[in-house]
Structure 1
Amino acid sequence: MGDDASVATAAPLPRDAFAHRLLLGSAKKSYDPVVDIDWNAPLDPDKLFLPPEVISLYGTPLWEAMSPEQRRELSRQELASVLSVGIWFENLLNRLLLRELMNGDPTSRHSHYTLTEMGDECRHMMMFGKLIDRIEARPYWPNRYERLVISSLQLFLRGSMVWVGALVGEEIFDAIQRRTLDDAELQPIVARAMRIHVTEEARHIGFARDALARRAPDMSAAERAYTRMCVAIAAPLFVHLMTNWHMYVRAGIEDGRGARRMARSNPAARRALGIGAANLGAFLDKQGLIGPIGKRIWQRRGLL
């Protein structure tokens, strides 16, 4: 009786206090994309599906030679590809979070927010799938090698790397989405879906940053070295998956692989990704989780 009373009246842990704030935020402002998006709203035949400056070929000779109709089609296919990557990533993240719950205290606010985030991610995957269908596109799938890598990540992303992996996928994707908000030149249904995702993803990013910042000071030398190695690889892998050569072919570009090479070396596309990765890079550097090799790799990919 005494032990139970002391537990019941004990002040919440700082970690649980932060999770409790996130739970209250989720209760006040969360969305159900099935009813919070007008899926029957017509698409505007003249509007793009992504802002020009975040489209991978923007500013290249190939882009300059495209008609407005071709640019619109490329933006449609590129949005479908970005959403597909988002679905794979959130699928993987939920598997990692579920594994964390197996070792966590089911009565803690931290575990309760983990479950809340998983519910958000399930709705986001459905929202992305419905949006791909609504814009009359098809999803993009990783090739066999990429599927093997993605599936094997859950074997290697443990401890601090769960949160690093979460931040790599969430923060770079989030920065791209923020460029779509309130843009009068974009399809309204796309802007609405991205606003929903940005609102809920802000809590997810805060949750992952808090977990990683609490863990970083107590890392062993081995864990820090392993985390640095994974950080060096994770962001370039995510960027690699963002440019699928099939999307260029579906957009009417015959040499899809050539277009992908052009996109990956495109200074404008590298700047757009660099903006998305800047805050993440600064945060990881502050935690001592980007080593010299990682910095060189990120800089080579335009992420720093």
Structure 2
Amino acid sequence: MARQLKATDREKTAERLLNSSAARSYDPEVDIDWSAPLADGLLYLPEHRTSLYGTELWAGLSREQRVELGRHEVASVASVGLWFEVLLMQLLLKDVYSGDPTSRHVQYALTEIGDETRHSTMFARMVERIGCPAYGPGRRVHRLGRLLPVLGYGPAVYAAILVAEEVLDRLQREMTADEGVQPLVRMVSRIHVLEEARHVRFAREEVVRGVRGLSRAELPYQRWLLAVVAMHITRSLIHPEAYRAVGLDPVEATRAAAGNPQWRETIRWAGERVVAFLDEVGLVGAPGGYAWRRSFLLG
């Protein structure tokens, strides 16, 4: 199991993260040139990270259609990320509500909420700038999301935050380094990666503390909740309507993506580090096995 954390470690970590936030934070309204033209011919998403890459449907697409599909898929991922950022802020505020505002822990949580508001605006502006709809999750998942701040508590909450943030983080790290991707997408990814590193550190330590305080009776619920949220996150990344933008049938294309070994491997790869951590602390296991398998996060 991950190392045990002393109570004083929480305040020390929060103090370091507050200092880091003060020294290195971004304002997307200022630090991104939203008026810059999009680069002709560049991708919006690396082709091998597109959900249909390697399928018969992909083989039937022209070069222009493949670029267009990547454009709509990156918009879908960003708008799902925005949706979860809003949920994350609700979860953090729920934690803050009963906390001590003079503690560094609560002050950093409030600072993180400030980061997330900027990230949400940044994702929204990127989707608008590249000319795509803000797809978000499907209607059913969107409605279920309203229940998470009500039903969620304990380490599963911070663990769910980690799944969303670290899956997106790994995809964005690759895009940041890929000169074949649109500069706007790379800059948005870069800002998010740099600031999310602090959020990940904060959440990982909260997971370790939370698991340490669980009773044996609580563990199954925490495992189940985490697995279900993880499944809905990964299965919502690409909205079916994104496929219609390139003339594909949404139902057929969604089915092809779900059965695509390349796409499943992309999700597993994106989540391998966070899943290894969650397994180490004891949050991956029964009764969440079915949901974990459907999430594609487990190989």
What's the TM-score bracket when you normalise by the shorter of the two chains?
over 0.9
Q: Return the offset for 1:128.
A: 0.4
Could you list the runs of 5+ residues in structure 1 that have no partner in the other structure? 1-11
| Counterpart-to-counterpart distance in 1, 2:232 and 2:131 | 28
Aligned to 1:37: 32
The structural deviation recorded for 1:302 is 2.9
Question: 1:114 aligned to 2:88?
Answer: no
> Aligned partners of 2:60 and 2:95: how far apart in 1?
50
Alignment-derived partner of residue 15 in structure 2: 20
Equivalent AA in structure 2 for residue 113 of structure 1: Y
Letter in 1 for 2:142: R
Whole-angstrom CA distance in 2 between matches of 1:209 and 1:186: 30
Counting only pairs closer than 5 Å after superposition, residues 190-201 of structure 1 correspond to structure 2 as 190-201=185-196
Letter in 1 for 2:43: L
Q: Contact 1:216/1:287 (CA < 8 Å) preserved in 2? A: yes
Q: Which has the larger radius of gyration?
A: 1
- In 1, are the aligned partners of 2:271 and 2:297 still within 8 Å (CA)? yes
Q: CA deviation at 1:252?
A: 2.3
Q: CA deviation at 1:138?
A: 1.6
Q: Is the 8 A contact 1:157 1:165 kept in 2?
A: no
SS at match of 2:15: helix
One-letter amino acid of the structure 2 residue matched with residue 267 of structure 1: P
The reply on whether 1:272 has 2:276 as its aligned counterpart is no
Structure 2 spans left out of the alignment, 5+ residues = 1-6
- What's the offset of the Cα at 1:66? 1.2
Tell me the CA shift for residue 292 of structure 1: 4.1
Q: Secondary structure at the match of 2:284?
A: coil
Match of 1:154 in 2: 149
TM-score, structure 2 as length reference = 0.94
Q: Aligned residue pairs: how many?
A: 292
Question: How far did 1:46 drift?
Answer: 0.4
- 1:211 paired residue number: 206
Alignment of 1:1-304 (within 5 A): 13-253=8-248, 255-295=249-289, 297-299=291-293, 301-304=295-298
Aligned-partner residue type, residue 74 of structure 1:
L
**Take 1:146 and 1:286, find their aligned partners in 2: how far apart are those partners?**
28
Using the TM superposition, give the Cα deviation of residue 298 of structure 1 relative to its aligned residue in structure 2, in angstroms. 2.5
Q: CA deviation at 1:131?
A: 0.4
Ranges of 4+ aligned residues in structure 1 off by more than 4 Å: none
Let me know the Cα RMSD of the aligned residues. 1.4
How far does residue 221 in structure 1 lie from its aligned partner after superposition? Answer: 1.1
* Residues 27/179 of structure 1: CA separation in 2 closer, same or farther (3 Å cut): same
**Aligned AA for 1:124?**
H
SS of aligned partner of 2:218? helix
Q: Normalising by structure 1, what TM-score?
A: 0.92
Tell me the CA shift for residue 231 of structure 1: 2.2
Q: Are the aligned partners of 1:164 and 1:231 in contact in 2 as well (CA < 8 Å)?
A: yes
Counterparts of 2:25 and 2:42 in 1: how far apart (Å)?
28
- The Cα shift of 1:37 comes to 0.7
